[in-house]
Amino acid sequence: MAVRKETIAKQFGEALPAFLEPGEQVRGGSYCVSGPSPIWVAGLFGLIGMLLFGVRYYYLAVTDRRAIFLQSSFWTARPKGLAWADPNDAVMITDVVVDAKLWSPVEHCLRTAGVRGSNPLTSTTVLLRKT
């Protein structure tokens, strides 16, 4: 299981070129989790809680054109494939907490009908791992 930041970044860095468009350049990336805080869920309910509450791990790569979410294995933290990708001009990143110690919560949402977070299918709150 990959737990070191360098190992995770290397694994996803090797998998990412398969999902890039010709000429697309990566600007940055981070390991992230969607759903309730894994620290609280695991602490209160253990592994069963993590599965029941739908905790999902991703690697978010931001390029000059898109925000790309790659699926991550729950057990090994290795890349599993493309989850989804959104064009940069259709995405908003909001509610960033920059002074968090380990995970920084942010909201990733599509600019749909000018209402942020109105549809749960177009809004994802993720926790970015501090690097």
Percentage of the residues of the chain whose pLDDT score is greater than 90 = 17
CA 74 → CA 9, 24, 50, distances in Å? 16, 28, 10
Domain ranges of the chain: 5-18+26-129
Tell me the pLDDT tens digit for each residue of 60-119: 888 999 888 899 887 788 899 998 888 888 777 766 676 766 666 666 666 654 444 333
pTM for the predicted model, two decimal places: 0.72
Give the chain's largest Cα–Cα span.
Answer: 46
Task: Read off the tokens for 3.
Answer: 């737990």
| Domain 5-18+26-129: which CATH number of 1.10.10, 2.30.30, 3.30.40, 2.30.29 | 2.30.29
In this structure, are strands 79-87 and 66-72 parallel, antiparallel, or unpaired? antiparallel
Choice among 33-47, 52-66, 79-93 with the minimum mean pLDDT: 33-47
